[in-house]
Structure 1
Amino acid sequence: MEALGVTFICLAVLFGLLVLVIGAFLLRRYHLNRALGTFDASIRLPPQGWRVGVCRYTDHHLEWLSLLSLSPLPKFRFLRSSLEVDGWRAATEAERVRIQPGAIIVHLTHEGEPFDLAMRYDVYAGLSSWIEAGPVIGIGTWR
């Protein structure tokens, strides 16, 4: 009977830890969705595959945070003045199973390195406007 009690306590502790981890992921997701300037976006950096995450705008950077992490720090940061939009296309059948539903693929370049973001079209319109309407540093262009 004593071995059964120890087993039950171990299983209860493991279940409690699992519930806490899932709760932490859900709380992080909730806070990321409620923050201004965030949107769902999967990223693909060649030669890697798609990763699910969330992008957020800051004054000078576009930051990408992994959805499968509890870290508050972004996995990738792209300087706004070094980002260029190279166009967009519809997702292929193979890509649709790896990205969010209804997303388009946006081709971007950051300091000469190409990468792709998958996002909804209305989010793409906001991203391209944000990149083009950067802050004025001096007289003339901001780049």
Structure 2
Amino acid sequence: MRVLEVTGICVVALLALLFAIFFRRRLLRLGGGTIRLQVRISTMVPGRGWSTGVGQFVGDELRFHRMFSLAIRPKRVLDRRALTVEERRLPSGPERLTMPGHWVVLRCRTGATDLEIAMAETTVTGFLSWLEAGPPRDPGSLRGRPVFGPRPIEG
């Protein structure tokens, strides 16, 4: 009888954990302005280190929440005033196995940090629109945001 009780408690705890994860995800999507995306957390092994999650647009921030997490706070916060998209590419190598075929990988720079995010090709258009729709900047504060291609030659 003791084994049955322990098994029952474990099953109930597992179901409660799954319910909490999916309820949190539902709460994040309830406010609107969310997209599915993947963020590359680790670059130690080429093509690996991607974390699936939900991106939530809040003002000038894109907040990344991991899909299977109980954390209320986002894992990463990207500020559009400091974010530039450096390169756009299709998934290659092992990445093709971890993400859908119609997804695009964007190599971004935020401050001094490089970051890769992946999202559906149709979502990229909305993401770039959100990025470009930021408030105007003081011309001397930060250099412009190139969307694609090489950086302009300064001099």
User: TM-score per shorter chain, which class?
Assistant: 0.7 to 0.9
RMSD: 2.2
Q: Which residue of 2 aligns with 1:20?
A: 16
Aligned pairs for 1:1-143 (under 5 A) are 5-45=1-41, 47-48=43-44, 49-136=49-136
What amino acid is aligned across from residue 40 of structure 2 in structure 1? R
Hey, what's the Cα distance between the residues in 2 that align with 1:82 and 1:52? 23
Structure 2: tracts of 5 or more residues without a match: 143-155
Q: Secondary structure at the residue paired with 1:92?
A: coil
**Structure with a larger share of its residues in helix:** 1
Contact 1:54-1:64 within 8 A present in 2 as well: yes
Structure 1: tracts of 5 or more residues without a match: none
Q: Secondary structure at the residue paired with 1:51?
A: strand
**Which contiguous aligned blocks of 4+ residues in structure 1 show a shift greater than 3 angstroms?**
140-143
Task: Give TM-score, length-normalised by structure 1.
Answer: 0.84
Identity of aligned residues (%): 23
Cα distance, 1:116 vs. partner? Answer: 0.8
